[in-house]
Structure 1
Amino acid sequence: MKNVFVKRKNILITSILILCLILSTFAFAQQDTNDNENRVKNVILMIPDGMTIAHTTLARWYQDGEPLAMDELACGLIRTYSANNPITDSAPAATAYATGFKTQNRYLSIYPEMVSMPGVGQVDEKDFYKPIITVLEAAKKLGKSTGLVFTCQFPHATPAAFASHTDNRNDYESIAEQMVYNNIDVVLGGGYKYIDKNQRKDKEDLVGYLRQNGYFVTTNWHDAKNYSGQKIWGLFAQDAMHYDFDRKDAGEPSLAEMTQKALYILSKNRNGFFLMIEGSEIDWASHANDPVGVVSEVLAFDKAVKVALDFAKSREDTAVLIVPDHNNGGMTLGTRGVSIDSIMLNSLLKYIRKATRTGLGVEELLGNNRTDENIKKIVSKYYGIDDLTQDEINAIKSAPQGKLNTVLGQMISKRSYIGWTSDEHTGEEVVLYAYHPKNYIPRGVIDNTQVCDYMCEILGIDLYSFNENAYLSNIELEEKGYQVSIDNSNPSNIQLLINKGDKTYIIPQNKNIVIEGSNQYKLKFVSVYIPSAKKFFVSSDILDIIK
């Protein structure tokens, strides 16, 4: 790992003292540093988005104190701050895991132009916004299979950070196109509408592109479950999938089932694989301060952990890492004004155990029928609450669409003595969990970027070499003497034009292709346009095509 840090120093870290302090926090269960001896073929990275210690404590008590599958792997803590903020959002947090570099809030796998946190070195101005190659992209180039499994929509921040590059995490259409052209072998989760030409604003037929390139594309779990090939996009909801407590009526697979399928497909590659699995909606339940949603999603994630861990323990070539990206909600068991002596386990769990739907699930059941009587009936049946006040009934009646989990979350939290300090992310360390077949694991307090360094070390990936000359900007091409212009006449399809002699090379954004007349060439990496900076980045092997 030292080589990785020495190389990074030349790009980001300006203080040798800071570098030494960072390295000093990273210790291993074994002192042997023989790279080959500790290498594995496969890495399974699991991200329970927004999961805190309070979340796992509540989930453990929900199942009568029985340990979670992830408990045996706890080995340290992770610092989560972004390049410009002590409290990260999911985009830079996932970027740190995906690339080994910190970026600023809202950015996905590009270098920041704003750095204000201690220990994060400034980036050279010419590299502002430049895409950073991810561990998934590098693994793919080395012949490994790659996969993403999640319950959110696939262009959402965490999966997006591993296979796209942008300064706007909310630009789902561009992100989706980049992810499609990044040739990921297995994609399972939600978000079909982002590849459907009839629902995309630019009418791009990404489903057609995938099928033309050998992918099985489906929205049906039964068909996906029975698929025996090696390339699949299974998107089982138009947008995000349901919470686990609510999914059965929707016919959606669980995170554990999708994990099992992904491992079955990816393990066919003798060169190994990289798989990222996200428990996406732990975070959303926390934003809503909804303890029922928290239990639903933590337990669903833990079942996926068991699948991954059983797979890894059945062989000698697979490591598993579980790394929350940040805390969320400031959840506590116990709240202000309530004596600890008055909080018994049954009072803490009574209503949470009675709940068979999350707040969003109850919202679906209520529909437009929000009469007093129907509210009382539904809340009693699915939450076990028979003493709703008129104020609470009125709050349920007036809850905006998609926000009933926030309203019901408050009611359950109050009755369960659960406190919340925020409906946003918070900045404390998160728990690190790790499994390695030879027990070569990180320990202590580490930085989120070091998780990527560790994965690259055990996979034998030199991510620095991929990043050193991966991309050129339009400005750098001009400096090399090329006649370059950006065509933004069609805002949904920005293009870089390179003129050389009587030839014009057209490079569309978000794709990995170059068009010259009737000829089409493939690039190593997808092309990226950053509107706010008017910068267009293209894979550096463009020089081999236009020479």
Structure 2
Amino acid sequence: MPRLPLALAAVLACTACSGPVSSPEASMPGTPAATASGDTFRAAPAARPADAPQNVVLFIADGFGPTSATMGASAAEALGRDWTLGTGLIGASETSPSEGRVTDSAAGATAYSCGIKTYNGAIGVGPDKAPCRTLLEAAEAKGLSTGLVATSRITHATPASFAAHVEQRSQEAEIASQMITSGVDVMFGGGLGFFTGREDGRDLLAELRASGATVATDGAGFDALSSTPAVAIMAPSHLAYEVDRDETDQPSLAEMTTRAMDLLGEAAGARGFFLMVEASRIDHAGHGNDPVGHLHDILAYDEALAAALDWASENGNTLIVATADHETGGMSLGRDGIYAWDPQPLLDANASMERIAEQIAGGADPVAAVRDGLGFDSLEDGVAEAIRGAASSGDRAALSTLVRDLASEPAGIGWTTGGHTAVDVGLYAWGPGMERFRGRLTNDEVGRRLFAALGLTP
């Protein structure tokens, strides 16, 4: 079966870079990833533990804090369905970067991918900006199959931190260039804009096909994927929020997870595989203080986790670890001294704030877009007038605040920030080796224990 070339640490020589962080030799196809001094990332493996799993799946729910977990559990109860995360809570991850206490996704993901703390914005590099050996690269070097799944652009901070090395997360064109030679057997997500129509004229999808990969750009192509290397980049930017997703156009996170595990399991056999799955858009909804997008993506995340556990139950010898890189939004269940929280208004809604804004920008009646998107029968005259006024004046901030409050207040939800917070995030684990993740661990320690679970070293 064809396989993409082994991972490299490409030279960071682009207009957005301050200088190279790896040796010139690393830019040659087929060269193993290297540090700035030229030493390869192929460190000797650690002794394989007796309880070592054959496969490891790491779920990262971007922006998913403890309140998000309670929100999801309440909604699952209201829907009469299982809450899978509730079966695996085993500890907590402390999320600070190397400087300060509040991380971004790049530093947070690099802590898990490399087992080190680094600065905000860093993708697969340490505080000294030298490339760090990632768990995916170490697994590849050992002969395991590897995969990345995300509902964001596949070049976004979290997936990028496992398969690329750049000084700043904004260098997504360079990240895409590195990812296509990273050796990853499965890549599912969005971000077509960084693979085709590039300023440098390269068509990275054509290069992937030439290397032997099967490439899909829509749901139908995804459904046809049957062997590795398999790449599905199914949106110009991020994939849709779950509440907005067209089932005929984009697969769910659960479908992508199951397909990735099937493909990797078949390709790897007894060698095993490592897969990272990111529920990316939980974070985006947190930034936008959008409780509808946040909740529906949380439920989609839990469904994906349930699908992975079903696969592990059927196939065996698979460790599943789930955590987050940080919390986003500072969300509360209960607000303004009112002792109430009800998920039903959010479950009744059928559009994210992003989709409502797109509809209004596309010429839809703003009052109808808000009313229907949030599942209301009607809006009070004063509210409708305020929506029309904000929309007609082009005051996007005012309109966003109106929609946020209309969505949040009936559910009893409050927000404290449009950014990240320093709160610890939950740590969940199932399967062989799960005990090593018990307790409160720093995020870099979680990363090192993921390496150890496969008998690897950072």
> For structure 1, which runs of at least 5 residues remain unmatched after alignment?
1-32, 113-127, 464-547
Deviation of 1:367 after TM superposition, in Å, equals 4.0
User: In structure 2, do the counterparts of structure 1 residues 407 and 161 end up closer, same or farther at CA, with 3 Å as the change threshold?
Assistant: farther
Partner of 1:311: 311
Q: Which residue of 2 aligns with 1:75?
A: 90
Alpha-carbon contact 2:219-2:248 (below 8 Å) kept? no
1:366 is aligned to 2:365: no
The structure showing larger relative contact order (alpha-carbon pairs under 8 Å, at least 6 residues apart) is: 2
> Is residue 387 from structure 1 mapped to residue 379 from structure 2 by the alignment?
yes
After superposition, what is the alpha-carbon deviation per residue over 1:168-218, rounded to whole angstroms, capped at 9, x for unaligned? 10011011101111121100010112111xx11111231222112110111
Offset of 1:84 from its aligned partner? 0.7
The structure-2 alpha-carbon separation of the partners of 1:234 and 1:393, relative to structure 1 and needing over 3 Å to count, comes to same
**1:417 Cα deviation after fit:** 2.1
Structure 1 distance, partners of 2:392, 2:75, is 29
CA distance in 1, matches of 2:390, 2:83: 35
Distance in 1 separating the partners of 2:436 and 2:398: 41
What are structure 2's unaligned runs of at least 5 residues? 1-45
**Distance across 2 between alignment mates of 1:295 and 1:137:** 33
Q: Is the 8 A contact 1:290 1:406 kept in 2?
A: no
Question: For residues 179 and 390 of structure 2, what CA distance do their matches in structure 1 show?
Answer: 40
Deviation of 1:224 after TM superposition, in Å, equals 2.0
The CA deviation at 1:400 is 6.5
Q: In the alignment, which residue of structure 1 is the partner of 2:454?
A: 459
Aligned to 1:352: 346
1:399–1:407 contact (8 Å) kept in structure 2: no
Aligned partners of 2:215 and 2:361: how far apart in 1?
A: 31
| Structure 1 CA distance for aligned equivalents of residues 401 and 167 of structure 2 | 29
C-alpha distance in 2 between matches for 1:433 and 1:99 = 19
Matched AA of 1:387 = L
Percent of matched pairs sharing the same residue = 33
For the residue of structure 2 that corresponds to 1:105, the secondary structure is coil
Amino acid at match of 2:348: K
The 2-side partners of 1:411 and 1:309 are apart by 37
SS class of match (2:407): helix
Query: Is 1:375 paired with 2:366?
Result: yes
Q: What does 1:333-352 correspond to in 2, within 5 Å?
A: 333-336=333-336, 338-340=337-339, 343=340, 348-352=342-346
- Equivalent in the alignment of 2:201: 203
Instruction: Give 3-state SS (helix, strand or coil) of 1:45's partner.
Output: strand
CA deviation map 1:276-312 (0-9, x unaligned):
0000000000001111011111011111101111112
Q: 1:308 to 1:249 in 2, by over 3 A?
A: closer
C-alpha contact (below 8 Å) 1:358/1:405 kept by paired residues:
no
Q: Tell me the residue number matched to 2:34.
A: none
CA RMSD of aligned residues (A): 2.1
Cα offset for 1:378? 2.9
Alpha carbons 1:292, 1:409 under 8 Å: kept = no
Find the aligned partners of 2:179 and 2:398 in 1 and give their Cα distance: 30
TM-superposition CA deviations, 1:497-529 (whole Å, max 9, x none):
xxxxxxxxxxxxxxxxxxxxxxxxxxxxxxxxx
Partner SS for 1:44: strand
**1:452 & 1:142 partners in 2: Cα distance?**
17
Moved more, 406-415 or 251-260: 406-415
| TM value normalised by structure 1 | 0.71
Equivalent position amino acid for 2:77 in 1: D
Aligned partners of 2:402 and 2:338: how far apart in 1? Answer: 25
SS at match of 1:70: helix
- Aligned residue runs from structure 1 range 82-101, under 5 A: 82-101=97-116
Alignment partners' CA distance in 2, 1:400 and 1:254 = 33
Distance 2:55 2:166 in 1: 28
Cα separation, 1, equivalents of 2:398 and 2:104: 21
Structure 2 counterpart of 1:212: 210
- In structure 2, the residue matched to 1:237 is 235
Letter in 2 for 1:102: K
Task: Map 1:111-130 to 2 at 5 A.
Answer: 111-112=126-127, 128-130=128-130
3-state SS, counterpart of residue 107 of structure 1 = coil
Indicate if the aligned counterparts of 1:229 and 1:265 stay in contact, CA closer than 8 A: yes
Distance in 2 between residues matched to 1:89 and 1:441, nearest whole Å: 25
What's the counterpart of residue 222 of structure 2?
A: 224
Matching residue of 1:164: 164
- After TM superposition, give the deviation of residue 349 of structure 1 in Å: 3.2
Q: How far apart in 2 are the matches of 1:434 and 1:231?
A: 28
More deviation, 207-216/96-105: 207-216
What is the number of equivalent residue pairs in this alignment? 405
Q: What is the DSSP-based 3-state SS (H/G/I as helix, E as strand, rest coil) of the residue aligned with 2:438?
A: strand
- Which amino acid counterpart does residue 230 of structure 2 have in structure 1? I
